[in-house]
Amino acid sequence: MENKTYYDGTKLLSLKDINGNTPELYICTSNRSAGKTTYFGRLCVNRFFKYNEKFCLIYRYQYELDDCADKFYKDISGLFFPGTIMESKRRANGIFHELNIDGKPCGYAVSLNSADQLKKYSHLLSDVQRMIFDEFQSETNRYCTGEIKKFLSVHTSVARGQGKQIRYVPVFMISNPVSLINPYYTELGISSRLNDQVKFLRGDGFVLEQGFNQNASEAQKLSGVNRAFAKNEYTDYASEGVYLNDNAAFVENPEGRSRYIATLKYGGNNYAIREYADYGFMYCDDRPDNSFRFKITVTTEDHDINYVMLKNNSLFVSTMRYYFEKGCFRFKNLACKEALLKTISY
């Protein structure tokens, strides 16, 4: 991928998941302007023209549907399908949009925050063959409340029908690298497995490609605006594929005095949260003080007697998230890191 002008997803689409099965989630991240959105968009439109296979575009919020046809098709049509026009029509009072190319229905556009309302119209979406979720990582860290449940609900609404309880409907999830603690990586257990050396990653039902396009990187660096703001972290994010909201979260064993903050329960195991004030960071290890009274969890599965179940927007969770994003968290091992990442995920 590095020496190619634009992204080529052939390798990603050829992969099996960790169990040797055909995956249903294809996750692709890279630095900006690498061409990943164009690649998967062209693939879906090609399948429509050749086989009349419809596709579905996923957005986060309903207001994004209003100009979805232009956003999705403008560049693709100019490059590969000149002279064709895509339009969108509001359906069900705007709960979803129907997409048409030159007047012929080619697919739909839906939003996660309309997941509940979309259920009653699932029969109208049963001809969808594949889905695209562009920018699944939010640059502003704004996600829907219960985002993963809404994503699953939308996919189920689309994948029902045609005489089957659930159909195989692959989703192409595309994004620039924003944060390792985005809700999808934490839910899929990717956060603790990903590092700069990983190019391809397999899981149960998914495959992931973490790419880097050198040509796109050089083009970004040559931009006068990017040169002017070369010291801004966004420039590294755009050109180098550095995670925008993640400073290094180190695995190490600090020395010196610490103050016990809380006991965290995750995955049935207890972890300790400590503050090393002299070094200015927080620390998570697997040596909890079971006599300490402040015990917390964020999942119903781990909720137990004498534990406080916190919401994702609670002050404590927000503070822990702040420390992590400022690079002020350390971990004894990867298990501790995953527990903390799950706790502070959005």
* pLDDT of 223 over the 90 cut: no
In sequence order, which ranges of the chain are alpha helices (DSSP H)? 10-14, 36-51, 68-80, 115-118, 147-159, 183-187, 214-222, 224-228, 233-240, 315-325, 334-344
Q: What average pLDDT does the chain have?
A: 87
Q: Report the distance separating Cα 307 and Cα 86, nearest Å.
A: 54
Residues 6 or more apart whose Cβ sits within 8 Å of residue 15: 23, 200, 202, 207
CA 92 to chain centre: 28
pLDDT of residue 237: 43
121: pLDDT strictly greater than 70: yes
Query: Which residue type sits at 215?
Result: N
Phi, psi of 239 (to 5 degrees): -95, -35
Written as six digits, the tokens of 250 are 């180190």
Residue 211 has pLDDT above 90, yes or no: no
Q: Which pairing describes strands 171-175 and 25-29: parallel, antiparallel, or unpaired? A: parallel
Q: What is the DSSP string of 307-332?
A: -EE--TTSHHHHHHHHHHHTT-EEES
Q: What is the C-alpha to C-alpha distance for residues 274 and 114, in angstroms, rounded to an integer? A: 40
Q: What are the structure tokens assigned to 131, written together?
A: 């889905």
Which residues lie closer than 8 Å to 197 by C-beta, 6 or more apart?
A: none
Tens of pLDDT, residues 73-108: 999 999 999 999 999 999 999 999 999 999 999 999
Q: How far apart are CA 156 and CA 250, in angstroms?
A: 38
Give the per-residue pLDDT at 2: 46
Cβ neighbours of residue 156 closer than 8 Å, sequence gap 6 or more: 122, 166
Give the helix/strand (H/E) hosting 26.
strand 25-29
> What pLDDT score does 312 carry?
64
What pLDDT is recorded for position 69? 97
Between CA 149 and CA 254 the distance in angstroms is 38
3-class secondary-structure state, position 188: coil
Mean pLDDT over 51-76 rounds to 96
53 contact partners, CB below 8 Å, separation of at least 6: 47, 129, 130
The residue ranking higher by pLDDT, 322 or 273, is: 273
| CA 265 – CA 297 distance, rounded (Å) | 5
Max intra-chain CA distance, the chain: 71
What is the fold of 10-240? Rossmann fold (3.40.50)
3-state DSSP: the chain helix, strand, coil percent, rounded to 5?
35, 25, 40
- Rounded distance between C-alpha atoms, residue 11 and residue 308, angstroms: 46
DSSP secondary structure of 81-113? STT--EEEEEEGGGTEEEEEETTEEEEEEEEGG
Q: What is the pLDDT of residues 152-176, one digit of tens each?
A: 999 999 999 877 889 999 999 999 9
- Say how far apart CA 171 and CA 15 lie, in whole Å: 14
User: In this predicted structure, what is the pLDDT of residue 220?
Assistant: 47
Q: Residue 128: what are its φ and ψ, rounded to 5°? A: -75, 135
In whole angstroms, what separates CA 111 from the centre of its chain? 15
Task: Please report, for the chain, the start and end positions of each structural domain, with discontinuous segments joined by +.
Answer: 10-240, 250-344
Residue 230 above 70 pLDDT?
no
**Confidence tier at 190 by pLDDT (50, 70, 90):** confident
